[in-house]
Amino acid sequence: MNKTIDSTPPSIWRLAWPTTIANLLLASIGFIQIVMSSEYGSDATAAMTVSQRIFFLLQSALFGLSAGVSAIIARHIGANDKHKAGQAFQSAMLLSFALSILLAILCFIYAHPLTQWFGLSNETQALAVTLIRWICVFSPIYSINIIIAGSLRAGGDALHPLILAIVSSVGNGLGCYAFSTGSFGAPSLGVEGLVIGGVFGSVISLFFYVLMWRKNRLLLPFPKQTQYRKKTLTLIRIGMPSAIEQSFIQVGFLIFTIAVASYGVDVLAAYGLGLNVLTLLLITSLAFSMSGAVAVGQYLGRNEPEKAYQQGWAAWRICVIFMTVFGILFFLFNHQIAAWLTDDIVVQQYTAKFLIIVAFSMPLIATDFTIGGAIRGAGDTTYPLKVSLATMVLVRIVLPFVFISLDFSYLSLFLLTACDFLVKALFMTYYFRSKRWMHTKI
């Protein structure tokens, strides 16, 4: 018999600090890959940048699905129904596995046409295609890990995802080094080894996740009655708008990267390096976004909407402070950070300018992520989808190519990154203050 939960939902900070560390550890693998690829030249860095954009495109639907299942699980946990939370968890696992395989197959087949849009040299394009196809092979492993970690956090357990993120990141980091350099008896595969070795720890962590779940060692139980069809339909209704949103965001990023590539391989390499640094910062906002979403969902499950509203603002306040501090550091030390990322003087200059723009975007990023996360945590995934679609079309697709046709500087495209977060922050804040999201049914 499953025990009911009769405790107050965890605080934002209790959820956020382990999630921040876990996300930073996992994101550091992409950072390691892009930095180590720079040792093979700017062409290799450009190929890695393109492959990482495709990777995020593959995973975006799963991140969206994770947001949907997190809202459902948080609501069930808040209502003291652990068994239904376990059923939703199981449905999300199976659905994510099927979806990730389908997306990976499509991406593997069309890897070459996808890379043609970036205007890469034949050699660089061939390398990018190879990296993308390796990513497709490993994509289901990453996808299931995303769902498991997000689901456990939605139940209030941030410790197990942290432990397994440590295992995953350490294993992935060692794998990157071993397979790229030929260390520890592994084959020396160069840039390809950065991708092939980067899944080693994820396989280990996935094994332990599933083993503990089957033995009922996790917060979410392995359900005796699945109700797979009913839970999957609910998951699709709540999770698919968020999955579509995240997919379109990554499509927008992909098209935007194509626009950046028109300024040359050095600008593209700088954008890739700067984007990986930005990703490390986005991870902090994402942690507070997840924490706020869980708190909002659980308080709504307890029929305490005003406390849910307060938790959303609490997550925002803490996140703004953290991100502002990082923004100041980026502004003061942009040249030093750029020099640490690459030895290429030209790429350093481009990267430093991108980091300055990122520095001023920090409060906007914090607002978009935390307030938007609170809205999704309530189960309202439709409004964020509408906002993301509007900003993607305008800021990531239309304006970049308008600026290119008018011969604007590459800096105009870098500035659009800040504009994207500004527009979304304004609309998310307006909607959250309206409190209409409180009435979302799950």
The pLDDT score that the predictor gives to residue 218 is 83
- For residue range 187-203, what is the model confidence (pLDDT) as tens digits? 999 999 999 998 989 99
Report yes or no on 154 lying in a domain: yes
DSSP-H helix ranges across 110-121: 111-116
pLDDT higher than threshold 60 for residue 4: no
pLDDT higher than threshold 90 for residue 427: yes
pLDDT higher than threshold 60 for residue 126: yes
- The answer to whether 163 and 1 have CB atoms below 8 angstroms apart is no
Burial class of 224 by CB neighbour count within 10 A (0 to 12, 13 to 18, 19+)? exposed
Report yes or no on 288 lying in a domain: yes
Q: 213 — phi, psi (to 5°)?
A: -65, -45
pLDDT higher than threshold 50 for residue 176: yes
| Closest residue by Cα to residue 176 from 18, 362, 285, 28 | 28
The pLDDT score that the predictor gives to residue 92 is 86
Q: Predicted confidence band at 2 (pLDDT cuts at 50, 70, 90)?
A: very low
∠ CA 175-177-178, nearest 5°, is 65
DSSP 8-state class, residue 8: P
The pLDDT score that the predictor gives to residue 64 is 77
The pLDDT score that the predictor gives to residue 300 is 92
pLDDT higher than threshold 60 for residue 1: no
Query: How many domains does the chain divide into?
Result: 1
pLDDT higher than threshold 60 for residue 34: yes
Cα-based distances in Å from 321 to 230, 284, 439: 41, 11, 30
Provide the residue range defining the domain that includes 348: 12-439
- Range in 7-11, 307-311, 401-405 with the lowest mean pLDDT: 7-11
| Closest residue by Cα to residue 263 from 325, 346, 185 | 346
Q: What is the pTM of this model?
A: 0.78
pLDDT higher than threshold 70 for residue 54: yes
Report yes or no on 6 lying in a domain: no
- The answer to whether 391 and 334 have CB atoms below 8 angstroms apart is no
- For residue range 222-247, what is the model confidence (pLDDT) as tens digits? 777 666 677 777 778 887 888 888 78
The pLDDT score that the predictor gives to residue 69 is 86
- Across the range 378-395, mean pLDDT stands at 91
| Closest residue by Cα to residue 74 from 399, 406, 379 | 379
pLDDT higher than threshold 50 for residue 322: yes
Report yes or no on 4 lying in a domain: no
Report yes or no on 1 lying in a domain: no
| 15 vs 271: CA distance, rounded Å | 32
Task: Please give the biggest Cα pair distance in the chain.
Answer: 67
- Across the range 75-101, mean pLDDT stands at 87
The pLDDT score that the predictor gives to residue 20 is 85
pLDDT higher than threshold 80 for residue 80: yes
Report yes or no on 334 lying in a domain: yes
User: What average pLDDT is seen over the chain?
Assistant: 87
pLDDT higher than threshold 70 for residue 333: yes
Phi-psi region of 227 (alpha: psi -120 to 50; beta: other; left: phi over 0): left
Report yes or no on 58 lying in a domain: yes
Q: Predicted confidence band at 7 (pLDDT cuts at 50, 70, 90)?
A: low
The pLDDT score that the predictor gives to residue 226 is 66
Percentage of the chain beyond pLDDT 70 is 97
Report yes or no on 5 lying in a domain: no
A 10 A CB-CB count for 108 gives 16
* 364: Cβ contacts below 8 Å, ≥ 6 apart: 418, 421, 422, 424, 425
